[in-house]
Amino acid sequence: MDKAKQVGIWIRVSTEDQAKGESPEVHEKRARMYAEAKEWNVKEVYHLEAVSGKSVMGRPETQKMLEDIRTGRISGIIFSKLARLARNTKELLDFADFFRDAGADLISLQEAIDTSTPAGRLFYTMIAAMAQWEREEIASRVAASIPIRAKLGKSIGGRAPFGYRWENKILVPDCLEAPVRKLMYELFLEHRRKKTVATSLNEAGYRGRGGTDFCATTIGRLLHDTTAKGLHRMNYTTTDDTGNWGLKPESEWVYHKIEPIVSEELWAQCNAILESQEKPRNRPGRKAVHLFSGLAFCKCGNKMYVPSNSPKYTCQKCRTKIDVEDLEEVYHEQLKSFFFSSEEVSNYLSQADEVIREKEELVQSLLQDERKLKGEMDKFYQLFMDDAISSQGFKQRYKPMEERQKQIGDQIPEVQAEIDFMKIQHLSSDEILSEAKDLYGRWPSLDENQKRQIVENITERVVIAKDEVEINLSYLPSHSELMAKSARNPEWI
């Protein structure tokens, strides 16, 4: 039997919300009911009552929650709505990135987002797209300003090259570092070895910035740099999302003349030696990830892989094989009948809508009863304060109303949790089913990364036998199964 999912409950209710009757207790009950419906265990409740949502990342309770996610103590957080998690957009994106990287789930009851469901996983995709868009917007604004500043000779950030310092936004030779930079060229011209130059400088007591020893890599970089011969190169590097840097096209480079440290002749002699010594290195290409890697299984139970010398998924144990393109074609055809027939889809969704509507009407009725009861209790209390009824009479009439108020207070979050559960299940069904309708037609136009994402999201496994392929797609219960579950849990009807 699979171990139950361990989750936490995030409670952050503002003072304004509490004034409206949205107590932390109600939010907690609602979340617990949802966890119970999903058969999850609530491991921890994180309390941030009356804490501003402007910034919560630095709060001790937030750090405790993130540590629990990081260590695997919990693998999901339930909260009433996104604004309760964080109102700061950047923090929301940070939360989503953290949870996605940790393989943990975010469950927002009001927005019907549960990233443990296929439809909910689209939330991560959306959030990732928002984060990427935000990064690209910032990067494009910065990138647009850099060439302009470079052409004007202004600083575009970063430290001055070794041997120089910024003075009134102009590069000038540094009296301590410039002689060392010049000595590098002289030593290299003499010994023709970068490592020998580094060793000589270190033994002589010279150090780089921060007190670090010189190494062959640093020597090579500084010898190549044109700054030393009085030609400062700007706007020539770029970095990707992973932090790796590369060179921009030479047409975008900008040069500015500054005071040189070495003669152009000495710089040219050293770089001619370097050029003759250095050979181009071809970096290995990225290993291809096949569409069904990790999901393709042989009938015998072993995983199937595509060997480097073969175009087929192969079982190493019983040598069952299937061509890569044939398996994708079989999968493509399977998308035609994804989940249900059109009639079953219509019945399932319409009946789910009806049950949700009835539950929402029940909540409104309970809220109305609660308001009416509160009014009656206020009247009786006022009569008691005015000595219009005896203490005994007040007790006899007031106590049953008080008990009924407690019953309603317990019932409202319970019914709301039922609605949350059903809405998220319904949304997940609706999203996948509607996407599946045109997925078959769009499949040939998708690139490999898009296909791989879809396969990962909607496929449990692909089982391959000698003359048969069984594709198990992510499955949501049919209406008949939902009714069967309801028969075992009457409170859900």
For 239-262, write each residue's pLDDT tens digit.
655 556 666 676 667 777 889 999
Mean pLDDT of the chain: 76
Average pLDDT for 461-466? 87
With bands split at pLDDT 50, 70 and 90, how would you rate the model's confidence at 340? very low
Q: Which residues pair with 297 in a beta bridge?
A: 303, 463
With bands split at pLDDT 50, 70 and 90, how would you rate the model's confidence at 478? very low
CA distances to 32, 153, 157, 178, 271 from 489, in Å: 17, 73, 64, 80, 79
Percent of the chain with pLDDT over 70: 69
The residue among 192 and 288 whose pLDDT is bigger is 192
Average pLDDT for 51-62? 73
3-state secondary structure the chain: CCCCCEEEEEECCCHHHHHCCCCHHHHHHHHHHHHHHCCCEEEEEEECCCCCCCCCCCCHHHHHHHHHHHHCCCCEEEECCHHHHCCCHHHHHHHHHHHHHHCCEEEECCCCEECCCHHHHHHHHHHHHHHHHHHHHHHHHHHHHHHHHHHCCCCCCCCCCCCEEEECCEEEECCCCHHHHHHHHHHHHHHCCHHHHHHHHHHCCCCCHHHCCCCHHHHHHHHHCHHHHCEEEECCEEECCCCCEEECCHHHCEEEECCCCCCHHHHHHHHHHHHHHCCCCCCCCCCCCCCCCCCEEECCCCECECCCCCCEEECCCCCCEEEHHHHHHHHHHHHHHCCCCHHHHHHHHHHHHHHHHHHHHHHHHHHHHHHHHHHHHHHHHHHHHCCCCCHHHHHHHHHHHHHHHHHHHHHHHHHHHHHHHHHHHHHHHHHHHHHHHHHHHHHHHCCHHHHHHHHHHHEEEEEECCCCEEEEECCCCCHHHHHHHHHHCHHHC
Least confident of 18-22, 215-219, 306-310, 464-468: 18-22
Average pLDDT for 280-286? 47
- The predicted pLDDT at position 475 comes to 45
Does the predicted model carry a pTM greater than 0.85?
no
- pLDDT tens for 412-435 read 888 887 777 777 665 555 555 555
pLDDT at residue 304 above 70? yes
With bands split at pLDDT 50, 70 and 90, how would you rate the model's confidence at 23? confident
- Put residue 333 in one of left, alpha, beta given phi > 0 → left and psi -120 to 50 → alpha: alpha
pLDDT at residue 165 above 60? yes
CA distances to 6, 272, 357 from 490, in Å: 25, 84, 17
With bands split at pLDDT 50, 70 and 90, how would you rate the model's confidence at 488? very low
The residue among 32 and 139 whose pLDDT is bigger is 32
- The predicted pLDDT at position 158 comes to 59
Q: β-pairing, 170-173 with 105-108?
A: unpaired
- The predicted pLDDT at position 286 comes to 47
pLDDT at residue 15 above 60? no
CA distances to 141, 142, 249, 458 from 235, in Å: 14, 12, 10, 44
pLDDT at residue 402 above 90? no
The residue among 13 and 152 whose pLDDT is bigger is 13
The residue among 218 and 391 whose pLDDT is bigger is 218
- The predicted pLDDT at position 132 comes to 54
pLDDT at residue 145 above 90? no
To the nearest 10°, report the CA torsion of 417, 422, 428, 433: -170
Percent of the chain with pLDDT over 90: 16
pLDDT at residue 387 above 50? yes
Average pLDDT for 209-223? 89
pLDDT at residue 436 above 60? no
Q: What angle do CA 264, 266, 270 make, to 5 degrees?
A: 115
Tell the burial category of 190 from Cβ atoms under 10 Å away from its Cβ (0-12, 13-18, 19+).
Answer: exposed
Average pLDDT for 167-186? 89
Q: What angle do CA 393, 395, 396 make, to 5 degrees?
A: 65
**How far is Cα 482 from Cα 39, in angstroms, rounded to an integer?**
15
- The predicted pLDDT at position 262 comes to 93
pLDDT at residue 96 above 60? yes
The residue among 280 and 250 whose pLDDT is bigger is 250
With bands split at pLDDT 50, 70 and 90, how would you rate the model's confidence at 339? very low
- The predicted pLDDT at position 44 comes to 92
pLDDT at residue 493 above 60? no
- The predicted pLDDT at position 134 comes to 55
With bands split at pLDDT 50, 70 and 90, how would you rate the model's confidence at 127? low
Least confident of 168-182, 217-231, 356-370, 476-490: 476-490
**How far is Cα 184 from Cα 344, in angstroms, rounded to an integer?**
78
- The predicted pLDDT at position 480 comes to 41
Q: Cα(first)–Cα(last) distance of the chain, in Å? A: 27
pLDDT at residue 344 above 80? no
Amino acid at site 57 = M
